Amino acid sequence: MISDTVITRIALPSDLPSILDLVNENILGHPAESRKRSVEDLKKAYFSDRPVAELIVAERSGKLLGMIQWTLAYDMFWNSYFGIPEWFFVRRGNRGSGIWLSLIATVCRRVKESGGSGIAGPGNAETTSLYERFCVSETMGSYYRLVGQAFSKVAGLSFENPRTLCRKMPPKSDNLIEAN
């Protein structure tokens, strides 16, 4: 029997060929589509002595379905660390199944483990509607934050399956309540 369980985890060097496939699928139609990319370039960026970010992947039955990278940053105004999620992608045939939330929850857990108290970043045409459901926005809806109790709850849900995670997502108002 083939498992339908989706697992999100930190990417491994052995994932690089599949990660390159995800990048190539994600970039279809983008101006950089014809630019040459290689497994060695990805290895240097994510698995060298000075990685640019941590890469999280989603897999089912050994096949990578999606990815997201995040970096840790410091906000001088709020005196806190936070994560910046970027380069989010889920294969087209797997969208709408909660994998996006699983990737975000795993990023939240990793940020929390790193001393962070939230995630923040810009939305785009594909992610804005998802962010608007459970994040607070700034600058007329183009920059989103998941903070407070909402962030803590999502981080705590990182090991749930996507369907359960979707049902247990905290309300947007939990962003306004200080985390315990």
Token output for 119: 């995630």
1 domain residue, yes or no: no
Residues 107 and 84: beta-carbon distance below 8 Å: no
33 domain residue, yes or no: yes
Strand, helix or coil at 130? Answer: helix
Give the pLDDT of residue 141.
Answer: 59
90 domain residue, yes or no: yes
Q: What phi and psi values does residue 139 have, to the nearest 5 degrees?
A: 50, 55
Q: In what order do the strands lie in the sheet with 118-122?
A: 6-10, 54-60, 63-75, 80-90, 118-122, 143-147, 136-138
165 domain residue, yes or no: yes
Name the residue type at position 9. Answer: R
Q: What phi and psi values does residue 98 have, to the nearest 5 degrees?
A: 90, 0
CATH assignment of the domain containing 94? 3.40.630.30
Would you say residue 2 has pLDDT above 50?
A: no
What total number of domains does the chain contain? 1
Question: Among 35-39, 123-127, 157-161, which is the least confidently predicted range?
Answer: 123-127
161 domain residue, yes or no: yes
29 domain residue, yes or no: yes
Q: Is 79 left (phi over 0), alpha (psi -120 to 50) or beta?
A: left
85 domain residue, yes or no: yes
Taking only the tens place, the pLDDT of each residue in 20-61 is: 999 999 998 889 889 999 999 999 999 999 999 999 999 999
12 domain residue, yes or no: yes
Domain assignment of residue 52, given as a range: 6-176
Would you say residue 140 has pLDDT above 70?
A: no
Give the pLDDT of residue 38.
Answer: 93
Give the pLDDT of residue 138.
Answer: 66
